[in-house]
Structure 1
Amino acid sequence: MKGTKDMLINDVKTTNFPYEVIDGEEHYPLHSTTVVESITETIPDELKAVMTIDYSQIPESYFQKVKAELGVQEADPVQAAENESLLLDVLEREGAFHQTP
């Protein structure tokens, strides 16, 4: 199940924060909290209680800015497929996929 919820992040109310329930546990998009935290760090403490961040209104360019600051790079799909194939070959050679009686 996917949805959005209100959360309190660094004492700032955040609306429309995305989550997904997997095996009964809530999971959040990678770096989503970090993006909100980077915004809340710019808000003076005395104003945090009266501020609200609408996660759905954060521009994609801001997500990209935070990812760049963190050094996060987009995966190259060709390289990822090659790495996956190599890993599967190694696991096959090591017998990871053979059942023992």
Structure 2
Amino acid sequence: MTLYPVLSSLYGNSPRAPQNLGNAQAFNYQPDAVSDDVQDIAARGVSDFHETECFAQYERDLDLCNALAGPMGGTRGIALCKTQAFQNYQQCRGY
């Protein structure tokens, strides 16, 4: 087995595929239909029930951080664990 086909593709010695963009559809910009209501724009649409579940999971993650991250990584481990827990919380909420 030779490495020529692999090396030639890495270093550009292989034939290239034609790039015919003449038949491509033109891009037409269309702005999003955004409401003028600031509350509507700011709302993410997460229900109260879902928000409560996210917060409960966040509290469980913080408890886990306090219980395990200290012995495993000291204060830096706790800080990293709490940062990750908050990122998970925000992701759960849709941010």
User: TM-score, with normalisation over the residues of structure 2?
Assistant: 0.28
Return the structure number with greater helix share.
2
User: TM-score, with normalisation over the residues of structure 1?
Assistant: 0.26
Return the structure number with greater strand share.
1
